[in-house]
Amino acid sequence: MIDSVFSIGVRYEGVRNVIDRYCRRFELPKQAPKGTVPPREQQESITGFLVRVLPMEADRLATEVLLVSLPTVVAQPTACTAR
C-alpha cells in the first residue's frame, strides 16, 4: 500500500526509506531472514494498515510516522468501498 502511493514520481530509495520507517514505528518485519518476504501471517493486512492510519490526521501520519514533508494541501486518508 505504501509502496504504491509513495513511488509515484520519486526515486525508489525514498520509497524504501518510508517503508523502513513505517515498519520500525509499528515493529513490523520488513523482511524475513535472507531477504525473503515474511510469511503471510507475519505481514500486515490491508485492514490492519487501515486500522493504524485512518484514525490519524494526515499531517501526523506524515510527520510522526513516515517522516515526510507534506504539500500545502493534504487530503485526509479515507477508506474505499467496492461497488
In this predicted model, what pLDDT tens digit does every residue of 6-34 receive, in sequence order?
Answer: 667 777 788 888 888 888 888 887 777 77
In a domain, 22, yes or no: yes
Give how many domains the chain has, as a whole number: 1
Q: Would you say residue 79 has pLDDT above 60?
A: no
Q: What is the CA radius of gyration of the chain?
A: 14
Nearest Cα to Cα of residue 16 among 31, 27, 32:
31
Q: Would you say residue 41 has pLDDT above 60?
A: yes
**Low-confidence winner among 4-13, 29-38, 47-56, 70-79 (lowest mean pLDDT):** 70-79
In a domain, 62, yes or no: yes
In a domain, 18, yes or no: yes
In a domain, 27, yes or no: yes
Task: Please provide the average confidence, as pLDDT, over all residues in the chain.
Answer: 77
Q: Which domain holds residue 56?
A: 2-66
In a domain, 80, yes or no: no
pTM assigned to the model: 0.66
Rounded to 10 degrees, the C-alpha dihedral 69/73/79/83 comes to: -140
Nearest Cα to Cα of residue 52 among 13, 80, 23, 75:
23
**Cβ distance 66 to 21 under 8 Å?**
yes
